[in-house]
Structures are given as structure tokens and as C-alpha cells.
Amino acid sequence: MSLRWTRTALADLDAIFAAIAQDRPRAAERVIMALLSLGGGLLRHPRQGRPGRLHQTRELAAPRLPYVIVYALSPSLIDVETDVTILRVVHGAMRWPPEVPPQ
């Protein structure tokens, strides 16, 4: 089982940090550490998030934070476990997904 953060997800973390750090740098560090820890927990419990709004994704709400980790699961080629790819970290108030594809 492996965990991978996409460049987009890492850019989301950078943007979250920058926005919070303008006024509260220590709080920004705590938020990012909490999100990284939550993402890391997906290795132990990959299906803890709810089914996502995009096909074949899952969404995990961050406790006491207004953020949602959007991730995908895929079978591992090495073992019977599941690989986790974190696709985005979005604010709960953000329109997600930006556009809903036609059914």
C-alpha cells in the first residue's frame, strides 16, 4: 500500500498555508500538520471517507477544520492492499467539483 499526494494537492496545501499564515503563521502550521496527518491516516483506513462527488473518488472531511481531502483508491500491483492518491484538498465552502459533468 502506498500514499501519493498529487502536485495539485500539494499546491492546495501551499495555498491554504499562505492564506492562513498572513495573519496566523503558527495556526497555519497546525492546520497543514493536521491535514498531512489525516492524509497519512488513509494508509490505515483507506475507505473511511464517503463516496466522492466525482466518479471513483472519496472525500474525507477534516475534523474541526473547513477542509475536505479528495482522494482515489487503486489496487496495488505489489500486494492485495489499496494504493491511495490524494487528488485535492478543498475548502468545504468551495464549489466542488467546479463543474458537474453531464450524466
Say which residue the cell 466522492 belongs to: 52
pLDDT of 103 reads 46
Q: State the SS3 of 61-88.
A: ECCCCCEEEEEEEEECCCCCCEEEEEEE
| Residue 102, in any domain of the structure | no
Could you read off the pLDDT of 3-43 as tens digits, one per residue? 999 999 999 999 999 999 999 999 999 999 999 999 999 99
| Residue 22, in any domain of the structure | yes
| Residue 103, in any domain of the structure | no
Could you read off the pLDDT of 38-88 as tens digits, one per residue? 999 999 999 999 999 998 999 999 999 999 999 999 876 666 678 999 999
pLDDT of 95 reads 79
| Residue 101, in any domain of the structure | no
pLDDT of 1 reads 80
Q: Domain containing 25 — which CATH number?
A: 3.30.2310.20
| Residue 97, in any domain of the structure | no
| Total count of domains within the chain | 1
Output the pTM of the full model: 0.88
Say which residue the cell 495556526 belongs to: 27
Domain of residue 51 covers 3-91
| Residue 100, in any domain of the structure | no
Strands 3-5 and 82-91: parallel
Using only C-alpha atoms, the chain has a radius of gyration, in whole angstroms, of: 14
